A = this chain, B = another copy of it.
Amino acid sequence: MDALLSIPLTLLDQLQKPTLAFLIGGMLLAACGSKLTVPDPVYKFVVMLLLLKVGLGAGISVREANLTELAVPALLAAVVGIAIVLLGKATLARRKGVSEADGMATAGLFGAVSASTLAAGMAILDDEGIAYEGFIGALYPFMDVAALVTAIVVAKVGMARNAAARLQAGGTVALGGGGQAPVERGLIGGILKDTAQSPAISALLVGLAIGLFAEPDSVYGSFYEPLFRGLLSILMLVMGIEAWSRLSELRKVAGAYVSYALLAPLVHGLMGLGAGLVAHHLTGFSQGGMILLAVMAASSSDISGPPTMRGALPEANPSAYIGASTGLGTPVAILAIPLWVALAELAVG
């Protein structure tokens, strides 16, 4: 098929998928003045189930992997996830008019991984007969959780600093600069603790722990996994309703999100490919594995990310982070897969 034609078709295909379709459905409801709401206790429970599932799935896939083989690529995957978020802080979040919470939530989703984009990458490698390690699926949680937690902590530290700065500016006595470093350290420690204890992240972590150390595979397969996409459709409907009411906030900064969403997947994919090359030289990580690490890094989370951000960073505007990631970032990441195949062939083939 003509490459130029495939871009709008990929976009249309993405728009028709349940995730975006329910988000747009929610926006339509809000636009038409519908009185439909998901009661708050139910909504909290839906988010909890989604994050338990993400944690359980990650824990099970890590438990089933060979930990010694996994160690180096997993560490590199986590480093790439963190680096993507920090890059987002230095670029997107610096843009005028982009709020700390919105910028970091978006960077967090671009650092996290889309399981369906990864599956598309695996299908392409299978078709072309390029081999990759069996434990690749277990790398995904390392990049995913590292990026999401980094983004949340960075956003909260930034918001706390801004609040402190406003307080100081308004106060009559300025504190000396000498006490800043320990205060900062205490601040980050407190935010890490708060983040780990927040309902969203602690659901993710308890799921991870149960998946790693127990054998919840039967209940995962009979309950959490089958309900997941349906509960996500509910979450998307709720987020669409909210996104509509906050869409106007974005009018002045839409350009910043569009340029980030179109460029970031390509830069992130190169970072992933570079990390894969390091692993290749250190441990003989395969060419297929390098490609899939690039695919993971280029992808943005449409599954684990939105409920996590909604739970842990309620200040962030879903129009910004889901619009940028699922609406633009994911199609770019899917279209870029052949690029990583070609570059990996050049690098080590």
Contact = CB atoms under 8 A, between A and B. Distances in A.
A29 B203 CA distance: 9
Nearest to A38: B45
A36 interface: yes
Contact of A222 (B16, B199, B230): B230
Contact of A219 (B210, B213, B215, B229): B229
Contacts of A281: none
B233 A216 contact: yes
B226 A222 contact: yes
Interface stretch (A17-25, A84-92, A141-149): A17-25
Nearest to A233: B219
A214 interface: yes
Contact of A215 (B16, B42, B206, B213): B16
A182 interface: no
A199 B36 contact: yes
A223 B214 contact: no
A34 interface: yes
A32 interface: yes
Contacts of A197: 32-35
Interface string A1-45: 000000000000001111011101110110011111111111011
A202 interface: yes
Contact of A214 (B16, B42, B222, B231): B16
Contacts of A214: 15-18, 20-21, 24-25
Where chain A touches its partner, the secondary structure class is helix
A129 B207 CA distance: 41
Contacts of A210: 21-22, 25
Contacts of A237: 206
A314 to B, nearest CB: 13
A188 interface: no
Nearest to A232: B219
The 5 A-B pairs at the shortest CB distance, nearest first, are namely: A223-B230, A39-B41, A21-B214, A34-B202, A42-B45
26 contacts: A15-B214, A18-B219, A20-B214, A21-B215, A21-B216, A25-B214, A26-B206, A28-B206, A28-B209, A32-B197, A33-B197, A34-B199, A34-B202, A36-B199, A36-B206, A39-B40, A39-B42, A39-B44, A40-B41, A42-B42, A42-B45, A206-B237, A218-B229, A219-B230, A222-B229, A223-B231
Interface of A: 15-18, 20-22, 24-26, 28-29, 32-42, 44-45, 48-49, 196-199, 202-203, 206, 209-210, 213-216, 218-219, 222-224, 226-227, 229-234, 237
Given A22-B216, A219-B229, 11 more contacts: A17-B215, A18-B215, A18-B216, A34-B197, A35-B202, A36-B203, A37-B199, A39-B45, A206-B237, A222-B230, A224-B230
